[in-house]
A and B are shown apart, each in its own frame.
Chain A
Amino acid sequence: MKVNNVILQFTAKIVFFIIFFFAIHIFFAGHYTPGGGFVGGLVTASAIVLLIIAFDLNTVQRLLPINYVYLVAIGLILALGTAAISMFVDQPFFTHFFDYFYLPLFGKTSLHTAALFDLGVYLVVVGVTMTIIQTIGDDE
Chain B
Amino acid sequence: MLQILCLFIPIIAAFFMPFLFKKIRNVHTGWFVLIVPLFLVVYYSTFIPAVSKGETVIEQLSWIPSLGISFVSYIDGLSLLFSLLISGIGALVVLYSIFYLNRKKEQLHNFYIYLLIFMSAMLGVVQSDNMITLYFFWELTSISSFLLIGYWFNRDKSRFGALKSMMITVAGGMLMLGGFVLLSLMGGTFSIRALIEQAPQLATNDLFIVALVLILLGAFTKSAQFPFYIWLPDAMEAPTPVSAYLHSATMVKAGIYLVARFTPIFALSEVWVWLVAGIGLLTLFWGSFFALKQTDLKGILAFSTVSQLGLIMSLLGVSAIAYHIDGAEDTVFKYAAFAAIFHLINHATFKGSLFMIAGIVDHETGTRDIRKLGGLMSLMPVSFTVALIGSFSMAGLPPFNGFLSKEMFLTAMLSVTEFDLFNFSTWGPLFPIIAWVASVFTFIYSFYFVFKTFTGKLNVDQLPTKPHEAPIGMLISPVLLAGLVVTIFFIPNIVTDTFVKPAVVAIQPFLYSSPYDVNIHVSAWHGPTTELYMTIGIVVVGLLLFLTLSKWQKLYSALPERFTLNRLYDFTINELLGSWMTRFSKLYMTGSIRKYLAYMFTAIPVIVIGTLIVKNAFAFKFEGSSPIHLYEIILILVLVIGTITTVFARSRITSIIALGAVGYTVSLFFVIFNAPDLALTQLVIETISVALFLMAFYHLPKFSKVEERTRFKFGRAFVSIAVGIMVTLVALSSHSQKFIESISSYYKETVYSEAGGGNIVNVILVDYRGFDTLFEIAVLAIAGISIFAMIKLRLSRKEKNYESK
Contact = CB atoms under 8 A, between A and B. Distances in A.
Q: Do chains A and B touch in the complex (CB under 8 A)?
A: yes
Interface of A: 26, 30-39, 42-43, 45-46, 49, 53, 69, 72-73, 75-76, 79-80, 83, 94, 96, 98, 110, 112, 114, 117-118, 120-121, 124-125, 127-129, 131-133, 135-140
B787 interface: yes
Given A30-B762, A114-B757, A133 B692 contact: yes
15 contacts: A31-B756, A31-B766, A33-B758, A33-B759, A34-B680, A39-B680, A42-B688, A43-B684, A72-B784, A72-B785, A96-B766, A110-B756, A127-B781, A128-B781, A137-B695
B754 to A, nearest CB: 10
Chain B contact residues, majority secondary structure: helix
Given A98-B755, A132-B692, 14 more contacts: A32-B759, A34-B676, A34-B680, A76-B777, A76-B778, A98-B756, A114-B763, A117-B770, A121-B766, A124-B777, A135-B787, A135-B792, A136-B696, A139-B699
Contacts of B758: 31-33
A36 B677 contact: yes
Interface in B664-690: 676-677, 680-681, 684-685, 687-688
B681 A76 contact: no
A45 B145 CA distance: 52
A40 to B, nearest CB: 10
B783 interface: yes
A39 B677 contact: yes
A34 B766 contact: no
Interface centre among A36, A75, A118, A135 (most CB of B within 10 A): A36
A35 B695 contact: no
A60 to B, nearest CB: 14
Interface string B752-785: 0001111101110111001101100110110111
A101 B770 CA distance: 24
Nearest to A100: B756
B600 interface: no
Contact of B774 (A33, A45, A69, A79): A79
A49 B791 contact: no
Interface in B733-768: 755-759, 761-763, 765-767
A46 B687 CA distance: 8
Given A42-B684, A136-B696, A34 B677 contact: yes
A76 B759 contact: no
Contact of A36 (B691, B765, B780, B781): B765
A135 B791 contact: yes
Nearest to B784: A128
Contact of B788 (A43, A69, A76): A69
A128 B142 CA distance: 42
Given A36-B677, A42-B684, A45-B688, A128 B755 contact: no
Which 7 pairs between the two chains have the least Cβ-Cβ distance?
A: A128-B784, A32-B758, A34-B676, A98-B756, A42-B684, A36-B762, A124-B777
Contact of B777 (A110, A125, A132, A140): A125
Contact of A96 (B755, B761, B771, B784): B755
Given A31-B757, A114-B757, A139 B784 contact: no
B766 A69 contact: no
Nearest to A118: B766
Nearest to B684: A42
Contacts of A132: 692, 783-784, 787-788
A120 B777 contact: yes
A45 B689 CA distance: 12
A117 B766 contact: yes
Given A34-B680, A46-B688, A135-B791, A72 B781 contact: yes
Contact of B770 (A34, A38, A69, A83): A83
Contacts of B767: 96, 114
Contacts of B771: 94
A85 B207 CA distance: 50
Contacts of B757: 31-32, 112, 114
Contact of B785 (A118, A131, A137): A131
Contacts of B681: 38-39, 42
Contacts of A98: 755-756
Contacts of B770: 83, 94, 96, 114, 117
Contacts of B773: 79, 117, 121
A131 B777 contact: no
A140 B791 CA distance: 11
Contacts of B677: 34-36, 39
A39 B788 CA distance: 23
A65 B699 CA distance: 27
